[in-house]
Amino acid sequence: MYVEMKHINKNFGSFEAAKDIDFGVEQGRMVALLGPSGSGKTTILRMIAGLEQQDSGDVVIEGKVVNDISARDRGIGFVFQNYALFRYMTVYENIAFGLRVKKEDKRKIDDRVKELVKLVGLEGMEKRYPDQLSGGQRQRVAFARALAPNPQLLLLDEPFAAIDAKVRKELRGWLKEMISKVGITSIFVTHDQEEAVEVADDIIIINEGRLEQMGTPVEIYKKPKTSFVAQFIGTSAVLDDFSGFKGFENLPKGRQAIVRPEFVEAFKSDNEKFKSLMHATETGIITNIAFRGSYQELILKVNGISLTANRSLERRSVKVGEQMCVLVYRVYVLADGDTEIHKNQLLKGIDIEAL
C-alpha cells in the first residue's frame, strides 16, 4: 500500500468529520473519494495532505507514519478546488514556484517548467496571469504546478467543480490521460458519481464521516454493501415492502428493497420481443415522462408504487396515462451491512441477458 489511513478520527467541535476511517491506496492507482457534500471527504483529503491534523489514527505514506510531518515536508502535490493559483504571478511563475522554493538550479527550473507547459498544452501562455485564463486552462496550470516538484502522490479537491458542464467532460478524459501518462498515485474528491465512475480506478464512498465501501466502479455498482451505497450510486427508488410484486412474493418481509431504473422494463402489451415474459409483468400507468437527452425517463404507478424506467428514444412513443406492462428483473434487498440481489422468481430458466 502506498497511502494508508489507519483508524482516523477527526472532529470539528461536535461535528464528526471522520469516524474510524481505514483504507489503503496502491501505488499508481487513481482513487476517488466520493460522497455527498458535508460527508467529510475533503477533510480526509486534507488530512492526507497534512493541511488538517487528525485527532487519532495514523496517516502512512510509503510505509512511513507522517503524522508529525508538516504539509510542506510531505512532498505531496495538491490541486485545490478553485485552483488557488497565485494571482500575482504568471503561468510560468506559478509552475516554477515549487522549484524556486527548493532552490533548484535556474536552468533546471526553466527546463522543467517548459516540459510541464508542453505536457499540459499551454505553450505560448507562460506570460499570462491566472485571470487571463479560462477555467480549463487554470486547471491545467494548477495541475502542472502541483506536478512541478515531482511529487509521488497527487491529491485533487473537486478538480472539476469550477468548470462548466460542457468542458468538464472533456477535461475528465484529459486529466485521466495525463495522470496515467505521468503514472502518479492520485486521490481526488468528488460529489459527482458519474465523474468518479468515469475517472477512477477505485472508488471510496464516504457518508457522514464513515467509509461505506471501497472498490472498483463495477464492484460498487454491482455489489453495493450498504443501503447508502445502493441508493447513492445510480438513481434508485427505495421501497419499504416489495413482496406484493409478481415474482418477488418470497422476499423477506419488512426489509427495504431498492429498485434501479435498469432493473425495470416497461413495454406495450402487444410487444413481440417480451411476449414470453408476459406472465411475470404487472400493469402500470405512466404518470410522468421526462426527456433526459438520449433517453426518456418514465415514472410508472404500479400497485400503488412509483417505479422509474428508462426508455430508448428509438422505441415506439408513449404518453402520460398510457397503460404499460411492467417487468422488474431484480431488486436489492437491504440486510444489516450488506445488500442481497433478489431475482424475479418467474423469470427462472429464462436467459434475460439474451434479450
Partner 1 sequence: MEKHNNSEGKFVPYLLIGISVLFFLVMLVFPLAEVIYRSLKDGIEVYKSALAASNTLSALWVTLIATVIALVVNTFFGLCASWLLTKFEFRGKQVLSTLIDIPFSISPVIAGLAFIMTFGRVGWAKPIIDWFNGVFGTDISFVFSVPGVVLATIFVTFPFVSRELLPVMQAQGSAEEEAAAMMGARGFVIFRRVTFPHIKWALLYGMILCAARAFGEFGAVYAVSKARGKTFTLPLEIDALYMAGSSDSITQAFAVSSLLVLMAIIMLVLKQIVEYRGKVMEE
CA distance 7 to 119: 38
* Residue from 60, 71, 119, 346 binding partner 1 (CB under 8 A): 71
Among 64, 102, 127, 315, binds partner 1 (CB under 8 A): 102
Name residues contacting partner 1, limited to 315-344 (CB under 8 A): none
**Which of 5, 17, 43, 97 lies at the binding interface for partner 1 (CB under 8 A)?**
97
Cell numbers found for residue 111: 527546463
Distance of CA 118 to the CA centre of its chain: 29
Q: Does 82 bind partner 1 (CB under 8 A)?
A: yes
User: Is 73 a binder of partner 1 (CB under 8 A)?
Assistant: yes
Q: Radius of gyration of the chain from Cα atoms? A: 25
Residues 183-222 that bind partner 1 (CB under 8 A): none
Residue closer to partner 1, measured from CB, 151 or 224: 151
Q: Which of 68, 88, 165, 349 binds partner 1 (CB under 8 A)?
A: 88
- String marking each residue 49-68 x if it binds partner 1 according to CB under 8 A: x-x-----------------
Name the segment binding partner 1 (CB under 8 A); options: 3-11, 81-89, 250-258, 263-271.
81-89
C-beta separation of 141 from 122 below 8 A:
yes
Q: In what order do the strands lie in the sheet with 30-34?
A: 76-79, 153-157, 185-190, 30-34, 202-207, 210-215
Segment near partner 1 (CB under 8 A); pick from 97-105, 296-304, 313-321, 333-341: 97-105
Looking up cell 499540459, which residue turns up?
Answer: 120
| Separation of alpha carbons 113 and 96, rounded Å | 6
Region of 26-34, 140-148, 211-219, 314-322 interacting with partner 1 (CB under 8 A): 140-148
Question: What x-and-dash track marks residues 3-42 binding partner 1 by CB under 8 A?
Answer: ----------------------------------------
Which region holds residue 190: left if phi is over 0, alpha if psi is between -120 and 50, else beta? beta
> Residue 351: in which H helix or E strand, if any?
none
Closest distance of CB 244 from partner 1, Å: 54
User: How many residues contact partner 1, by CB under 8 A?
Assistant: 27
Q: Which stretch binds partner 1 (CB under 8 A): 146-154, 167-175, 198-206, 285-293?
A: 146-154
Question: Is 77 a residue that touches partner 1 (CB under 8 A)?
Answer: yes
> Which residues contact residue 67 at a Cβ distance below 8 angstroms, ignoring those fewer than 6 apart?
53, 54, 58, 59
Q: Which of 24, 38, 75, 135 binds partner 1 (CB under 8 A)?
A: 75
How far apart CA 161 and CA 109 sit, in angstroms, is 30
Q: Which is nearer to partner 1, 146 or 347 (CB)?
A: 146
* C-alpha span between 155 and 160 (Å, rounded): 13
* Binding flag, residue 145, partner 1 (CB under 8 A): yes
| DSSP codes, 234-282 | TT-EEES--TTSTT-TTSPTT--EEE-GGGEEEE-TT-STTGGGGGG-E
Cα separation of 331 and 312, whole Å?
Answer: 22
Whole-angstrom Cα distance, residue 333 to residue 340? 5
Interface region with partner 1, contact rule CB under 8 A, candidates 84-92, 118-126, 234-242, 304-312 = 84-92
Binding site for partner 1 (CB under 8 A): 49, 51, 70-73, 75-78, 80-82, 84-89, 97-98, 101-102, 145-146, 148-149
